[in-house]
Amino acid sequence: MSILSKKNELGFYEIRLESIGGLGANLAGKMLAEAGVLGLGLNGSNFSSYGSEKKGSPVKSFVRFCDPETEIRVHSPIEEPHVVGVFHEALYKTIDVVSGLRPDGILLVNSTRDFDEIKQDLHLQYGTLAIVDALSIAVEEKTKVNTAMLGALYRIIDFLDPEAMKHVIRKTFEKKYPHFVESNIRTFERGYNEVHFKTYESEQGAQGKDFKRPIPLLGYETQELGGVITAQANSILKDLSGSRQGFLPQFNQAACINCAACDTACPDYCFVWEAGEDKRGRKQMFLKGIDYQYCKGCLKCVEACPTTALSELREMIGYAEENQVKQNYPYVTGGVS
C-alpha cells in the first residue's frame, strides 16, 4: 500500500522550494530527498536551479517522491507541485512563486504576516496556506532558515517521518560541524511545532494556477546582432531588495559624522549624498539616507560605521519603502537635476 498522500498522473508527489542564494534551499532539498529515500524506502530525486549561483539570486530546488516500484524517468523542473515552500517572501515581487500550484496544494511561507495579507499579495485563490517565522527561529537558535523550513515541511507532508530527518541532520553536521547538531535539531523541532495553517476552500472543479514560464524579452529571434544591450545602464532599474535575508541597515542621521566609511564599504550605490556647508561655511557632502532599492542587506556598512549612525534592523514590512531616500540619475531619466 502506498504511503504517499497524493500523486499526479505519473505517480509522483512533487515539491518545489523557492528561495534566494544563501538561505540553504539547495541543501534543504537534498536532505528532504535523502530522508524520504533512505528513511522510508521511497524512490526520489532532487535537483536545483540556481542560475549564476550568486548569493541573493533566485534559487529553485525540486524534490520528487514515488512508490518503490515506480521508476523516475522524468528529470524536468517541477511545474505543478503539490507543495511550494517560499524561503523568502520578497520573491513574489519578481517571481510568481505559486505558479502551477494545484488547487489542493499547500503553500508554505517564511513570514510574520497574517494569512489574508499573504493570500492577497501572492494572488492565492484557494488551497492551504502555512506560515512559519523561520527567520526568527534561525536567529534565536543561531542556525539557518532552511532547517526551520524543513521542520515546517515535515508537518505539512504527512507521510514523512520527523525522526528520519533528525537522523539526516545528525549525519549531515556531526563530522564537519558537530557543535551545530543540537541547535539544528532544536530549529527543526521548532519549525515543526510553530507552523500555522489556514485552508481556503476551493470550488468544485476548480483548476490550479497555470504554470507560466518566464520568457526573456530578447531571445534568439529578437536579439540584436552581436548581442547589443539596447538599454544601457539598465542595472539602475533593478530592485535588489529581494536579496535581503531579513535584515537591513537602519540610519540615524543625528549620529552621522558624514565620514563616508559606509559608502566605501558598500558594494552598491545605496547611500545618497547632497552638497552643503558645515558650521564654518566650508563645502561638504552630507549623507541624506539610504536607497533601499539597491540594498542587499549585507550589513558591511554597519560594520564599517565608527558611530551608532548605522545599526542592524530586522526588516519589517513597509519599513524600507517609508524610509527610502531615492538616488537621482538625471541623465538616465532624460533631464538634469
Please report whether residue 72 resides in a domain: yes
Residue 119 in any domain: the answer is yes
**Which spans in the chain are helix H?**
25-40, 115-121, 134-141, 145-156, 162-173, 181-194, 261-265, 300-304, 319-323, 330-333
256 and 118 fall within a common domain: no
Q: What is the CATH number of the domain that holds 116?
A: 3.40.920.10
Q: What is the number of domains present in the chain?
A: 2
Is 99 part of any domain?
yes
Q: Which three cell numbers stand for residue 92?
A: 513574489
Say yes or no: 131 and 278 in one domain: no
Is 319 found in the same domain as 252?
yes
Shared-domain flag, residues 262 and 124: no
Q: Is residue 63 part of a domain?
A: yes
Angstrom distance (rounded) from CA 329 to CA 148: 41
Q: How far apart are CA 34 and CA 31, in angstroms?
A: 5
pTM of the model: 0.79
Residue 315, phi-psi category: left (phi > 0), alpha (psi -120 to 50), beta (remainder): beta
Determine the residue type at 170.
R
Domain housing 32: 12-200
Does any domain span residue 142? Answer: yes
33 and 119 housed in the same domain: yes
DSSP state of 175: T
CA–CA dist 246, 332 (Å, integer): 31
What tens-digit pLDDT sequence spans the chain (337 residues)?
568 888 889 999 999 999 888 788 888 999 899 888 988 889 999 999 876 656 667 889 999 999 999 999 888 899 999 999 999 887 887 788 888 888 888 999 998 888 988 888 888 877 889 999 998 999 899 888 999 999 999 999 888 888 888 888 888 888 888 888 999 999 999 999 999 999 887 666 656 667 777 666 666 777 766 666 655 556 777 788 877 878 899 999 999 999 999 999 998 889 999 999 888 888 999 999 999 999 988 899 999 999 999 999 988 878 898 999 998 877 665 544 4
Within this chain, do residues 103 and 176 fall inside the same structural domain, yes or no? Answer: yes
**DSSP state, residue 211:** P
Beta strands in the chain (DSSP E): 13-20, 43-49, 58-66, 83-86, 106-110, 127-132, 196-200, 247-251, 271-277, 283-290, 310-314
| Residue at 164 is within a domain | yes
CA gap 127, 199 in Å, rounded: 6
CATH code at position 264: 3.30.70.20
